[in-house]
Amino acid sequence: MNEHPVAAGPLFTPERRQELEALGRQYPTRQALLLPALWMAQRADGWVSPAAIDEIASELGLTPAYVRGVVTFYTMYHTHPVGRHFIQVCTTSPCLMCGSGDVVAALLEHTGCGELGATSSDGRFTVIETECLGACGFVTPILIDDDFIESVTPAMIPELLARYP
């Protein structure tokens, strides 16, 4: 899931087209498949590439410009490749007031990313701060890829990162 092939093949392999058609039976319009299709693309390639946008647009009967407009509205779709492991740290008020800044600093240091939004030179990590993750009683919550991790402290970070080679 976190492997990012350099040259991805077509998004809609027979298996994925079948998956899309199965999802399609749950909605009265074809366009309702847009967010699910974008998730499929990101799961396949690690990001939503221009090629994937073209393919999805053609599959759903939309223009690439329309699809791009939707992609850029939603912050979780990556419009460029990111590190093999994507880390999101909550820094909204309840987390900020309980020490999330120290978690951000420790993550930037131990991943080698140096700054928010940057990818480490080995391509392993990208760290971003994100708005409220909805786990304010479990400061600091972070997402590493799809793993939601609660109550992270700076001391936990080296061991935590080691789980994501």
Partner 1 sequence: MGYPHPSHPKETPLLSEHFGQAAARTYEGWTSRGGYQALRKALGMTPEAIVEEVKSSGLRGRGGAGFPTGMKWSFMPKEDGKPHYLCCNADESEPGTFKDREILRWTPHALIEGCAIACLGIRAETCYIFVRGEYTEPGRILEAAVREAYANGALGANAFGSGKRLDVVVHWGAGAYICGEETALMNAIEGKRGNPRVKPPFPAVSGLFGMPTTINNVETLAAVPHILNRGGAWYASLCLGSPKSTGTKLISVCGHVKRPGTYEITLGLPMRDLIYECAGGPLDGRTLKAVIPGGSSVPIMSMAEVDNCATDYEGIAAAGSLLGSGGMIVMDDSTDLVLQIWRLARFYAHESCAQCTNCREGTAWTTRVLERILRGEGTASDLDLLLDLADNMTGKTICVLSDSCAAPVVSGLAKFRDEFEAYLSGARSPVLVGG
Which of 134, 155, 158, 163 binds partner 1 (CB under 8 A)? It is 134
DSSP per-residue codes, 7-53: S---S--HHHHHHHHHHHTT-SSSGGGHHHHHHHHHHHHSS--HHHH
CA distances from 161 to 17, 30, 74, 111, 127 (A): 35, 40, 27, 8, 12
* 115 near partner 1 (CB under 8 A): no
Which of 41, 52, 106, 143 binds partner 1 (CB under 8 A)? It is 143
Which of 147, 153, 155, 158 binds partner 1 (CB under 8 A)? It is 147
Which of 4, 24, 51, 70 binds partner 1 (CB under 8 A)? It is 70
Residues that bind partner 1 (CB under 8 A): 26-29, 31-36, 38-39, 60, 62, 69-70, 73-77, 88, 91-94, 96-98, 130-139, 143, 146-148
